Chains A and B, each alone.
Chain A
Amino acid sequence: MNRMLIRRSLLILAIVVVCALVILHSPVRLGLDLRGGASLIAQVKVDGLLPQQQREIVEQTRQILERRINAYGLSESPVQLYGSRGDELLVQLPGVSDFSRIKDLLQSRAVLEWYSVAEGPFTSDGEVMARHGGVLPGNTRLLTTQPGADGRRAWYLLERPPIIRGTDLRDARVSTDARNQPVTTFMLRQDAAERFERYTQAHIGQRSAIVLDEEILSIPLIEDVIRDAGQIRGARSLQEAQDLAANLRAGALPAAIEVAQERIVEASLGADSIRHGLQAAAAGLAAVVSTMLVYYRGAGANAMLALVLNGVLLIAALACFGAVLTLPGIAGVVLTIGMAVDSNVLIFERIREELRTGKPAAAALTAGFSKAFATLVDTHVTTVVSCAFLFFFGTVAVQGFAVTLVIGLIMNLFTSVFVSRVAFDWEMTRRGPVEGLSIGLPQ
């Protein structure tokens, strides 16, 4: 009897030590709502495509967005598929302060093309049309530059197909030109470089157009043979040049994306939420502890041991699985605590009932635990069943709730049944079988 008890106690101790190590080694990650940061849901424009194509394009977009976020030097947080329609992506950026810049970075398609100029510049598209009798010549397209300092745009007629596309790029970097202006330098792949070399050789002295996302960035004059590197000028700041380089490296988006939801939480608000939550938890715990101690005396202390251990196990499990704690997750923790208190109360009331029928302490303990266990299994399994449905049908937030709750419940069965029983058994060996239990009943 005693050796078994010692073995069980050692098992509990070992689990506590492991949990403490886990928590120290990898603290629980906090969600955006607690930590501050930004998240956005981007809708990929894939209307009118076959389902198979849609899936491919959304997946490509997802990978490219992930690369862009990494290139920006942000978090390891992955971009996830979101929602049921299959065309939405969830981007989470914890701890981000400069959100509008990142949003621009993510939203621009970064389709880079290098055309040769057929005609231009014109002051309006009407002028071009008038010159060609209302129809554009074959194999050309009409694009404009960004508005200049005077707010005017220039129109150019460009020859299709482009000489270089974004897929021909090998790398892109930021440097400064002779006048100390930021420029984005790109390097070409082998085959594209050969093509470009032949082209520039044949077209020295002619104008070409660098086009980004359907807008002409610059109209460089081909002065010399260019082999494998080109420069994009016209960035208004170093930051803009850097962002362009990052996007060119990550690749162009296969389809346009539109922001369908964005959420920004300042770190200060998250910190407030945590502080408030901790205060509330402390107040609640103090109330529960004092009531349990007054009502159940010695047994109340056992319940507290179980409750605290439940909390430690839950945090360790969350840290271990890399789960992110959010506000809905805290809701799961609250329900876990509620059910943990309930488990202890159920068991203690059962033991009291058995004691009232005149059973000796040891027998009452065994009967109380085993009868209460049947009820506990039912309440816990029912909740786990409902959590399974919440997890499979629910939104991300609801899934967080379900995961936290299921972990908490499993830990609770262990602490309230196993740990609490060991604590009672220690009390029994200390007091001897003759004396009664301290469970708040008159002896």
Chain B
Amino acid sequence: MELFRNTQFDFLGRKWWFILPSLLLMLAGLCSLLVNHGPRYSVDFLGGAVLDVGWEGTPPIERIRTAVSSRLPGVSVVAAHDLAGSNEVLISAEVRANDNLTALRQNLVEALSTVNTRYSVRSYEVVGPQIGADLRRQALLATGGASGGMLLYLACRFRLGYGVAAVSAMAHDALITVGLLSLLHQEISLTVVAALLTLIGYSMNDTIVVFDRVRENLRSGAREPLAETINRSINQTLSRTVLTSGLTLLTALSLLLFGGPVLHGFSLVLVIGIVVGTFSSIFVASPILLVWEQGLAKRGARHVALPEGGLR
């Protein structure tokens, strides 16, 4: 079976058809982030307490809410269902700077038992405000460092332009995903951060496959404009791109459908990320590479021929 054979789509020529929706999506995400004062962080990052309670039968959400909020500040009570039809309630409460973390759980459980006793605590998590701030800083530091490291490696192995284009595409993916999460009212927890890292790795991988082909085609020394070469490279790798993305998307979808409530946020990010990441290597990374290298050529720098310091 063959999906694509000798395709000759003009991806770069029609790039605006694709960049425009992507820009709109990014803008919507940014607006949502601005309106909501940044992403919705989970207790992992903000500090706070979350009690996950499994209920026998349908949980009386309203009664739980009134019972708990009369005792604790900043309480939210959310029902969570999965395909298996479990009845779980997530109860979260704020933690203030000088609160006694030990008493908090007692308080929550006591409030719950005034409703009825047909529940069991499935997990409990409480994070002091200080720890949360630390984690946020550390996550940003790690992501920034990783991006810088990849930029450096690509600049050495290919050229600076390739690195800039690939890292820009990666930032584009992360930004769109975080924006979408904000639009969908999804929280950013530690697990979601792991998913964001996965998506960054995936997007990078996808971009490098295309760029590798561009470099190879440039080495073979065909006399044609760079835009042609990039287009040809995207077409040559198209069946691989579609097949790999399709297969990975299948895996991510099965994780979203069967993975259960704990993995829900994780697999949602993965599904969004695979679609956006595939898209960005073709319609974001490649145009940026083209513009960067053309700009270099215009400024009288060396023509975009063979990359120095190549593989062999």
Known: A345-B244, A375-B209, A386-B149. A266 touches B202 (CB 8 A): no
Known: A280-B259, A389-B148. A266 touches B194 (CB 8 A): no
What A residues does B34 contact at CB under 8 A?
Answer: none
Tell me the residues in window 242-287 of chain A with beta carbons closer than 8 Å to chain B beta carbons.
259-266, 268-269, 272-273, 275-277, 279-281, 283-285, 287
- B263 and A276 form a contact (CB under 8 A): yes
- Counting CB contacts under 8 A, is B229 at the interface? no
What separation, in Å, do the CA atoms of A386 and B208 have in the docked complex?
Answer: 14
- B142 and A345 form a contact (CB under 8 A): no
Residues of A within 8 A of B (CB): 33, 41, 43, 83-85, 88, 100, 103, 107, 259-266, 268-269, 272-273, 275-277, 279-281, 283-285, 287-288, 291-292, 294-295, 327-328, 331-332, 334-335, 337-339, 341-342, 345-346, 349, 352-353, 356, 371, 374-375, 378-379, 381-383, 385-390, 392-395, 397-398, 401, 405, 440-441
Closest to A350 in B: B240
- B204 and A269 form a contact (CB under 8 A): no
Could you give 17 example pairs across A and B, Cβ below 8 Å? A259-B101, A263-B126, A268-B122, A276-B259, A276-B262, A281-B254, A283-B258, A288-B250, A291-B243, A295-B1, A331-B197, A379-B209, A379-B212, A386-B147, A386-B201, A389-B149, A390-B146
What separation, in Å, do the CA atoms of A159 and B257 have in the docked complex?
Answer: 69
- B123 and A264 form a contact (CB under 8 A): yes
What separation, in Å, do the CA atoms of A327 and B194 have in the docked complex?
Answer: 9
- B250 and A287 form a contact (CB under 8 A): yes
- Counting CB contacts under 8 A, is B187 at the interface? no
Contact with A along B127-140 (1 / 0, CB 8 A): 11011001100110
- A338 and B102 form a contact (CB under 8 A): no
What separation, in Å, do the CA atoms of A268 and B154 have in the docked complex?
Answer: 45
Known: A261-B131, A265-B123, A287-B250. A327 touches B258 (CB 8 A): no
- A394 and B138 form a contact (CB under 8 A): yes
What A residues does B251 contact at CB under 8 A?
Answer: 284-285, 287-288, 334, 337-338
Known: A334-B270, A383-B205, A398-B139. A277 touches B263 (CB 8 A): yes
Contact with A along B101-145 (1 / 0, CB 8 A): 110000000000000000011111111101100110011011001
- B145 and A342 form a contact (CB under 8 A): no
- B205 and A269 form a contact (CB under 8 A): no
What A residues does B142 contact at CB under 8 A?
Answer: 389-390, 393-395, 398
What B residues does A284 contact at CB under 8 A?
Answer: 250-255
Task: Tell me how far the C-beta of B271 lies from the nearest C-beta in chain A, rounded to whole angstroms.
Answer: 12
Task: Tell me how far the C-beta of A123 lies from the nearest C-beta in chain B, rounded to whole angstroms.
Answer: 28
Task: Tell me how far the C-beta of A363 lies from the nearest C-beta in chain B, rounded to whole angstroms.
Answer: 18
Known: A291-B247, A328-B194, A334-B198. A395 touches B135 (CB 8 A): yes
Known: A260-B101, A379-B205. A395 touches B138 (CB 8 A): yes
Closest to A107 in B: B102
What A residues does B257 contact at CB under 8 A?
Answer: 280, 283
- B146 and A375 form a contact (CB under 8 A): no
Known: A379-B209, A398-B194. A273 touches B266 (CB 8 A): no
- B201 and A84 form a contact (CB under 8 A): no
What A residues does B131 contact at CB under 8 A?
Answer: 41, 83, 88, 260-261
What B residues does A338 contact at CB under 8 A?
Answer: 202, 244, 247-248, 251
Which of B130, B148, B152, B243 contacts A345, CB < 8 Å?
A: B243
- Counting CB contacts under 8 A, is B153 at the interface? yes
Task: Tell me how far the C-beta of A283 lies from the nearest C-beta in chain B, rounded to whole angstroms.
Answer: 4
Which of B1, B54, B247, B262 contacts A341, CB < 8 Å?
A: B247
- A84 and B1 form a contact (CB under 8 A): no
- B201 and A440 form a contact (CB under 8 A): no
What separation, in Å, do the CA atoms of A427 and B202 have in the docked complex?
Answer: 32
What separation, in Å, do the CA atoms of A73 and B108 have in the docked complex?
Answer: 30
- A382 and B153 form a contact (CB under 8 A): yes
What separation, in Å, do the CA atoms of A382 and B207 have in the docked complex?
Answer: 11
- A273 and B208 form a contact (CB under 8 A): no
What A residues does B128 contact at CB under 8 A?
Answer: 43, 259-261
What separation, in Å, do the CA atoms of A41 and B252 have in the docked complex?
Answer: 33
Closest to A344 in B: B244
